Amino acid sequence: MIEFKQVQKQYPNGLLALKNINLQIKQGEYVAIIGLSGAGKSTLLRCINRMHDITAGSLTVDNVEISTLKGNGIRQLRRNIGMIFQSFNLVTRISVINNVLVSFVPQMPLWRKILGIFTEQEKKQALMALDKVGILDKAYIRVDQLSGGQQQRVALARTLAQDPQIILADEPVASLDPLTANQVMEDFKRINQELSMTVIMNIHHVELALDYATRVIGIHDGEIVYDGRSKDITDEILEQIYQGSIDKGGNTADVSEAVTN
């Protein structure tokens, strides 16, 4: 379980990005975090894997106060928490399988790192991860020959290969067309249901969030203004989260931007 207690995050320039966040996320939940650009979504997500450090309060993952972790402890935390980015973060000039194998590098002995040698077991795990996201047939193709949706699946496979309990996804479908975005959201849902991995996703597209996530957390100006089931969301609640920036189709100004990019 992930638990925030009175968490605050203040950046060195004085900006208070998270204010008094109280939150519990149980293992196996599929949570969408929504809110305007600058509301604090990325900051909240990145505090969970220590990409950012909180400045007050308590943040525990499986009862471990993560702000006390150092070196090895942080590496272990991150092995347990996969991260997916909007930009995929892949090495596009190498093969799909080599991108997935990268997930084993942090745990490898130095000599294997230097020589780039992977065990048969690691290769098998990488192929299994590609199979889980339906792109096993692309294993030996260069990443730059794949579509955006396929590249996001490679990123997901790379995360799955490390067998995390939690997946943090920061705008994973923002640069994809609507059809592909739906397919990738479906992948996350299947992984959440079949492997019981917790999925916490920042997403600008409200309709996708409501269609796929079971719980929605709405953030406005660093504060949680809604935390509940996605099926209970009403126009009034969306209005509270987006405060005048949402049109009748459920799109925010940010969404139109993301879709046209």
Q: For residues 42-59, b (16+ Cβ closer than 10 Å) or e, as one string? A: bbbbbbbbbebebbebeb
Cβ nearer to ligand ATP, comparing 11 with 186: 11
For residue 116, state whether it binds ligand ATP (rule: CB under 6 A): no
Cβ nearer to ligand ATP, comparing 11 with 235: 11
Q: Hunting for tokens 């990488």 — which residue is that?
A: 126
Candidates 1, 5, 11, 116: give the one binding ligand ATP (CB under 6 A).
11
Quote the least distance from Cβ 126 to ligand ATP, whole Å. 30
Q: Which of 190, 115, 138, 140 is nearest to 160 (CA)?
A: 190
Residues between 183 and 242 with contacts to ligand ATP, criterion CB under 6 A: 202
Candidates 21, 32, 34, 39: give the one binding ligand ATP (CB under 6 A).
39
For residue 153, state whether it binds ligand ATP (rule: CB under 6 A): no
For residue 164, state whether it binds ligand ATP (rule: CB under 6 A): no
Can you give the three-state secondary structure of 170-209, one letter per residue?
ECCCCCCCHHHHHHHHHHHHHHHHHHCCEEEEECCCHHHH
Q: How far apart are CA 223 and CA 22, in angstroms?
A: 9
For residue 82, state whether it binds ligand ATP (rule: CB under 6 A): no
Cβ nearer to ligand ATP, comparing 54 with 130: 54
Quote the least distance from Cβ 66 to ligand ATP, whole Å. 18
Residues binding ligand ATP: number (CB under 6 A): 13
Element (H, E) at 212: helix 206-212
Are the CB atoms for 173 and 205 separated by under 8 Å? yes
Residues that bind ligand ATP (CB under 6 A): 11, 13, 15, 17, 35, 37-43, 202
